[in-house]
Amino acid sequence: MGYGYDFTEDDNESGFDFTTDDTELIAQEEAARASELWENLSDSEVQAEINGLNSRLTAFILQLQRMVNDNDYEKTAEMCKALYTKDLGPEGWLGKFYLSNQNSFAQYAGGSARPSWYANLSADQKKTYDAVLAYYGDAAALQDLTGDTWGLLRALPLLGGFRIMRIKDNFEEAGFTKAVFDKIDADLRAISDQLSQDWAAMDRNAERSMMYYDANKDRLPVEKLSYEYFHERYKDYSDNLKKSPIAASLNDRGKGVFTVRPDVEARMEVIDTYTTRVSQSDNLEDSMKNILNRTKKILSEDVPAAEKGCTTQAGQFLAGAFQTLAEAVSDFAEMSLEIYLNFRKGEDVAPYCFMKKLPSLGSAKELYSFTVDRSDPQENGTYFVDLYRSAAKAIGKHCEDFVFHHGYSDLL
């Protein structure tokens, strides 16, 4: 075999012989090259090779177009790599066919002239030569198109485009609309308003505790009066909080403990995850513009030249497949670039709006340990779940202050 190891002992010394025998490998390579020469090919065999490449190009086009919806990057990447490493490079059949037959065909493609030795061929050999020569002319006409498509697929930032489009789809599938963004902004205002209320106004509206105090101040022991009075103060605070939009996002656990509703917390965590991914995404602007420039050249120069130069139906169909591939890649790059730039600009529509600062952030008051992240989401994404968790704790402290440190606080 080609790479065999001889474990027999030498007469003079013991040991392993790790020398490599390339004879069989060289023979295999020469046989492969010989199979690409025109005299060893038939019309049907060349057509089958060209049609096979056409089919693989078409399969990749379809896979690329449904990659995002099917959430199937891996298969798409494998097909893309197979095209530019096996089919479209110098080792692909079309490239090897073109190079292997240059001496026999290069001067005669597209014309009626034939080499001097053509006259000595048999009738069948002449028929084969003429048939394969037509395909060689197509291969020559397809060289620029094949080479530029090879470069296009190698340069394609497939993963970056896939990720940014999946993020957009995930936002939309999860129902994160502009109304959700506006609700978060309204909640931020509501939290700030809740924590900065005027104490006198809150006391004037504390009807439960005032009525209880007035009805029982002269008949109950101080210990009993204070216990029930502070309990009523807590109810007053709950009534006050229910008037705020933020109440819909919180659970009142009693005894001044407030927590974020699990569904709200889960949604905020998802938004934070998506915005973080956007902030960490590859810079697609230059790479996708490069792809668009490449596809523009392919479609405006290479495809028309190939269509003009191809004379066989198989060659013309193959040129059409290359055209469709360039169009599909162009669509992918254009869509990826548009989504990426919309996220980076923080456009005022969903889902892109989640990548901009909340409008209410500038006027938000950080009271009672309530803190908000004021950084640009473009840098590290959003911290909405932290905002709501911080709000729940701060409202608990605000409630405690209202219950025990205002009103008839001397009952303590």
- Alpha carbon of 403 to those of 51, 175, 219, 234, 242: distances in Å? 82, 39, 22, 6, 16
Residue 21: the pLDDT is 54
Tokens encoding 372: 């908000």
Tokens encoding 248: 């819909």
Residue 165 inside a domain? The answer is no
Residue 168 inside a domain? The answer is no
Q: What is the DSSP string of 314-366?
A: HHHHHHHHHHHHHHHHHHHHHHHHHHHHHHHHT-SSTTGGGGS--GGGGG---
Identity of the residue numbered 2:
G
Tokens encoding 364: 């938000």
d(CA 377, CA 358) in angstroms, rounded, equals 10
Same domain, 274 and 290: no
Same domain, 230 and 90: no
Residue 10: the pLDDT is 43
Residue 36: the pLDDT is 77
Same domain, 67 and 125: yes
d(CA 285, CA 128) in angstroms, rounded, equals 50
Same domain, 262 and 376: yes
Contact 256, 400 (CB under 8 A): yes
Instruction: Say whether 136 sits in a helix, a strand or coil.
Output: helix
Same domain, 46 and 119: yes
Same domain, 330 and 384: no
Tokens encoding 379: 């840098």
Same domain, 180 and 241: yes
Residue 26: the pLDDT is 47
Same domain, 132 and 150: yes
Residue 409: the pLDDT is 78
d(CA 221, CA 88) in angstroms, rounded, equals 94
Residue 164 inside a domain? The answer is no
Residue 29 inside a domain? The answer is yes
Same domain, 46 and 24: no
Residue 224 inside a domain? The answer is yes
d(CA 87, CA 81) in angstroms, rounded, equals 10
Residue 114 inside a domain? The answer is yes
Contact 343, 352 (CB under 8 A): yes
Q: Where are the beta strands (DSSP E) in 191-350?
A: 250-254, 257-260
Question: Could you tell me which of 254, 280, 272 has the C-alpha nearest to residue 344?
Answer: 280
Q: What pairs with residue 252 in β-bridges?
A: 258
Residue ending a domain, choose from 321, 345, 369: 345
For residue 255, give its domain range: 173-278+350-411
How many C-beta atoms lie closer than 10 Å to residue 116's C-beta?
6
Same domain, 88 and 148: yes
Same domain, 26 and 49: no
How many C-beta atoms lie closer than 10 Å to residue 321's C-beta?
21
Residue ending a domain, choose from 345, 365, 388: 345
Residue 265 inside a domain? The answer is yes
d(CA 82, CA 150) in angstroms, rounded, equals 11
Residue 401 inside a domain? The answer is yes
**The whole model's pTM is what?**
0.84
Element (H, E) at 251: strand 250-254
Q: How many domains does the chain have?
A: 3
Residue ending a domain, choose from 294, 313, 345: 345
Contact 128, 42 (CB under 8 A): yes
Per-residue pLDDT of the chain (412 residues; tens, 9 = 90+): 333 333 333 444 444 444 445 655 444 555 455 667 888 888 889 999 999 999 999 999 999 999 999 999 999 999 999 999 999 987 899 999 999 888 888 887 777 789 888 888 899 998 998 988 899 999 999 999 999 999 999 999 999 999 999 999 999 999 999 999 999 999 999 999 999 999 999 999 999 989 998 999 888 998 898 899 899 999 999 999 999 999 999 999 988 899 999 999 999 999 999 999 999 998 999 999 999 999 999 999 999 999 999 999 999 999 999 999 999 999 999 999 999 999 999 999 999 999 999 999 999 999 998 999 999 999 999 999 999 999 999 999 999 999 999 888 777 6
Residue 22: the pLDDT is 60
Same domain, 89 and 238: no
d(CA 138, CA 315) in angstroms, rounded, equals 6
d(CA 132, CA 126) in angstroms, rounded, equals 10
